């Protein structure tokens, strides 16, 4: 007899059978379906297979076809545990919910506004926000992929208050730097509640205690959720909770990463779900698969089908609808210094060998090693001195000679250009993906009052000049602070600088399209006057990995634009101007398989 159980301790479906069943013809089919469904599926012993529950429910229809074909039914060769049976009933309703969502009719705008007014929702929705909320409030689970500044948080809260009944609560999983926005928005949208969000932090015991008190509005970071998934899941199973994922592209890695896996463990528990991101597929359609699985785990999705599956359940306000003036982008292409170029050529051969190995072996270790090498290559092109502290560098004599040439051409250009802009009265935002570059540029630009933000700068009181918020306030308010130097990974989200800064310079970029798009949006977002120019300068070294990064970012942004039917995502072609010819484990270059292929091809071609 085949038995199906739900193991609550680790949120897995468990299939067991008896030794006598080894001769049954259905067993090989069931085993193959289960083991092929997920990298997380495991044969635990001779008569037991387990797999994540959300993977199991995605197999439901195929398993039912197998059961029917071999005459298996509850009580006749098939036994379903009580917990699994209840969850399967929920899954059936959820699967039906996707069909309902696909065919749902949006709430009429007049009715939506009347209902929001009746419950005391104080913020007046824009026409685009009303259109979006009318849609996502009418379906069981949905997505808002509006661009930064379009008001996704307001849309999300309006959706919650329209759908939720009095005893239902809201859990938001978000980056830490988004917490303040949720507090501000709930106060502005529902002032009569006088309520704010409770932070779930401080370790397991404290989080468990806070949840026991039954707060209605809760915030937790993705990293903290990964440490206490069992406690949060138990709470979601015990009470009626809506779960929203802010910056949902952070779960794009799926069950392969702990933070994404923790979010997906909640997928079958909430009474309502919403995902939010302005850049939902920064690499490829594959990025959407885990996000869709969170919304509708019962509906199988693949990279080939997920875009079409997502279309009925997402809304988006694009930049064209916001009426933003276009961005002026300029590419500054510089030649490397002679010895820098000679050393770069040696380094790129080593990276090409590692890229070929990573494509051939496809192991995590090889991929991680390649990521470190690509980061090193990007660092060297941006600022050769970043390699000066590297122990055991393969070409120490040539490195010393290259360093003797002085600062790299990109650093020299950025320093000179920032001072020119400051002298002309323009504040400037400078981007680099490397912490030491961020600190170095800030130190060199102390004469124009530069401040910096990277992952080592803690959030805190804006009156403290050493905190993230304090540095942002200085850049906003102090006329002597004319430059901010930032890392896109640390400041690409939750920072609005468009009212005081209209010039940005990129010392370097990586293959991470989300970081790039979100960093641009710090100074190009809703609220700009229609006649305001926004100027972006991207500094590259000629014939280097910088060019591969540009090509791959253009491809990824174009693919996302096509998937989201949003032409405003496609940056205008950047004219080339020939006259202007850390901890590696924690750093992500945003490399994907296709990036490696392009990199290998370019490194070989430019040999």
pLDDT tens column, 418-471:
999 999 999 999 999 999 999 999 999 999 999 999 988 887 788 888 898 899
Report the Cα–Cα distance between both ends of the chain, in Å, rounded.
63
Q: How confident is the model at residue 246 (pLDDT cuts 50, 70, 90)?
A: very high
Shortest CA distance to 58 belongs to which of 26, 23, 28, 33? 33
Going by DSSP bridges, is the β-strand pair 42-45/451-453 parallel, antiparallel, or unpaired? unpaired
Q: How far apart are CA 250 and CA 247, in angstroms?
A: 6
Max mean pLDDT range (62-76, 252-266, 568-582) = 62-76
Token pair for residue 137?
């409030």
Lowest mean pLDDT among 46-50, 56-60, 137-141, 276-280: 56-60
Q: How confident is the model at residue 219 (pLDDT cuts 50, 70, 90)?
A: very high
Half-sphere exposure at residue 606, Cβ-oriented, CA atoms within 13 angstroms: 23
Shortest CA distance to 236 belongs to which of 265, 276, 202? 265
Spatial CB neighbours of 76, under 8 Å, sequence gap ≥ 6: none
pLDDT at 531 over 70: yes
**Phi and psi at residue 244, to the nearest 5°:** -115, 135
Lowest mean pLDDT among 319-323, 419-423, 528-532, 582-586: 582-586
| pLDDT value of position 578 | 38
Q: What is the value of pTM for the model shown? A: 0.74
Lowest mean pLDDT among 26-40, 439-453, 507-521: 26-40
pLDDT at 181 over 70: yes
pLDDT in tens, 503-513: 999 999 999 88
- SS3 (DSSP) at 236: helix
* Mean pLDDT score across all residues of the chain: 87
Class of residue 108 by CB neighbours under 10 A (exposed 0-12, middle 13-18, buried 19+): exposed
Mean pLDDT (whole number) for 346-374: 84
pLDDT at 59 over 50: yes
Going by DSSP bridges, is the β-strand pair 2-7/12-16 parallel, antiparallel, or unpaired? antiparallel
pLDDT at 381 over 50: yes
Edge-to-edge strand order for the sheet containing 198-199?
A: 198-199, 217-220, 169-173, 241-246, 272-276, 141-144, 314-315
| pLDDT value of position 580 | 37
pLDDT at 202 over 50: yes
CB-CB neighbours of 531 under 10 Å: 6
Q: How far apart are CA 323 and CA 154, in angstroms?
A: 19
pLDDT at 392 over 70: no
Q: How far is CA 9 from CA 42, 100, 200, 207, 225, in A?
A: 16, 32, 21, 18, 16
pLDDT at 583 over 60: no
Token pair for residue 429?
């935002």
pLDDT at 255 over 70: no
| DSSP state at residue 487 | -
Q: How far is CA 569 from CA 225, 444, 539, 572, 604, in A?
A: 31, 34, 21, 9, 31
Shortest CA distance to 567 belongs to which of 248, 393, 383, 326? 326
Q: How far apart are CA 320 and CA 565, in angstroms?
A: 12
Q: Which DSSP helix (H) or strand (E) runs through 3?
A: strand 2-7
Locate tokens 């997928």: which residue? 267
Q: How confident is the model at residue 361 (pLDDT cuts 50, 70, 90)?
A: confident
pLDDT in tens, 310-340: 999 999 998 888 888 888 999 999 999 999 9
pLDDT at 579 over 60: no
pLDDT at 98 over 80: yes
Q: How far apart are CA 213 and CA 600, in angstroms?
A: 55
Measured in residues, the chain has a length of: 607
99-317: CATH topology is Rossmann fold (3.40.50)
| pLDDT value of position 55 | 75
Edge-to-edge strand order for the sheet containing 483-486?
A: 451-453, 483-486, 428-431, 503-506, 534-541, 327-334, 576-577
327-605: CATH topology is Rossmann fold (3.40.50)
Q: How far apart are CA 176 and CA 174, in angstroms?
A: 6
Spatial CB neighbours of 56, under 8 Å, sequence gap ≥ 6: 12, 13, 34, 37
């Amino acid at each position: 007899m085949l038995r199906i159980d739900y193991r609550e301790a680790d949120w897995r479906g468990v299939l067991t059978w008896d030794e006598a069943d080894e001769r049954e013809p259905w067993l090989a089919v069931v085993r193959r379906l289960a083991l092929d469904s997920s990298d997380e599926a495991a044969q635990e012993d001779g008569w037991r297979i387990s797999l994540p529950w959300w993977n199991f429910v995605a197999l439901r229809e195929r398993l039912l076809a197998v059961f029917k074909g071999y005459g298996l039914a509850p009580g006749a060769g098939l036994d379903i545990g009580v917990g699994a049976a209840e969850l399967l009933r929920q899954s059936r309703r959820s699967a039906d919910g996707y069909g309902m969502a696909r065919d749902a009719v949006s709430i009429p705008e007049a009715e939506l506004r009347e209902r929001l007014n009746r419950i005391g929702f104080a913020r007046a929705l824009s026409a685009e926000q009303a259109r979006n909320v009318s849609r996502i409030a009418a379906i069981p689970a949905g997505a808002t992929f509006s661009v930064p500044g379009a008001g996704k948080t307001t849309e999300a809260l309006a959706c919650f208050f329209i759908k939720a009944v009095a005893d239902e609560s809201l859990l938001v999983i978000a980056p830490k730097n988004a917490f303040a926005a949720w507090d501000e928005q709930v106060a502005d949208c529902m002032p009569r509640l006088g309520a704010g969000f409770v932070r779930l932090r401080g370790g397991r015991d404290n989080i468990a205690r806070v949840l026991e008190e039954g707060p209605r509005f809760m915030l937790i970071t993705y990293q903290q959720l990964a440490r206490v998934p069992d406690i949060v899941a138990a709470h979601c199973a015990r009470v009626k909770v809506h779960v929203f994922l802010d910056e949902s592209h952070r779960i794009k890695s799926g069950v392969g990463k702990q933070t994404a896996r923790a979010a997906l463990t909640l997928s079958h528990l909430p009474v309502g779900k919403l995902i939010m991101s302005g850049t939902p597929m920064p690499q490829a359609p594959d990025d959407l698969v885990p996000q869709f699985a969170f919304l509708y785990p019962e509906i199988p999705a693949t990279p080939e089908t997920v875009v079409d599956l997502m279309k009925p359940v997402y809304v988006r306000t694009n930049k064209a609808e916001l009426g933003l003036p276009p961005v002026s982008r300029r590419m500054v292409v510089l030649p490397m210094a002679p010895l820098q170029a000679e050393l770069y050529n040696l380094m790129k051969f080593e990276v090409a060998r590692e890229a070929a190995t990573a494509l051939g072996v496809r192991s995590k270790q090889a991929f991680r090693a390649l990521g470190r090498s690509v980061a090193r290559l990007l660092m060297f092109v941006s600022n050769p001195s970043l390699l000066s502290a590297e122990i055991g560098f393969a070409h120490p004599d040539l490195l010393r000679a290259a360093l003797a040439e002085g600062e790299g051409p990109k650093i020299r250009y950025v320093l000179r250009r920032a001072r020119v802009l400051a002298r002309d009265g323009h504040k400037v935002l400078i981007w680099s993906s490397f912490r030491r570059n961020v600190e170095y540029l800030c130190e060199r630009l102390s004469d124009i009052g530069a401040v910096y933000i990277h992952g080592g700068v803690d959030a805190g009181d804006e009156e403290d000049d050493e905190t993230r918020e304090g540095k942002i306030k200085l850049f906003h308010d102090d006329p002597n602070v004319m430059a901010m130097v930032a890392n896109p990974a640390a400041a690409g989200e939750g920072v609005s600088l468009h009212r005081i800064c209209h010039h940005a310079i990129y010392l370097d970029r990586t293959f991470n399209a989300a970081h790039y798009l979100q960093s641009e949006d710090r100074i190009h977002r809703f609220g700009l006057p229609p006649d305001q120019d926004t100027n972006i300068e991207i500094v590259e070294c000629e014939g280097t990995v910088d060019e591969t990064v540009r090509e791959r970012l253009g491809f990824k942004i174009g693919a996302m634009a096509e998937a989201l039917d949003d032409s405003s995502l496609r940056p205008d072609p950047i004219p080339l101007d020939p006259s202007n010819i850390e901890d590696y484990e924690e750093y992500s270059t945003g490399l994907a398989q296709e990036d490696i292929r392009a990199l290998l091809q370019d490194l070989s071609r430019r040999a």
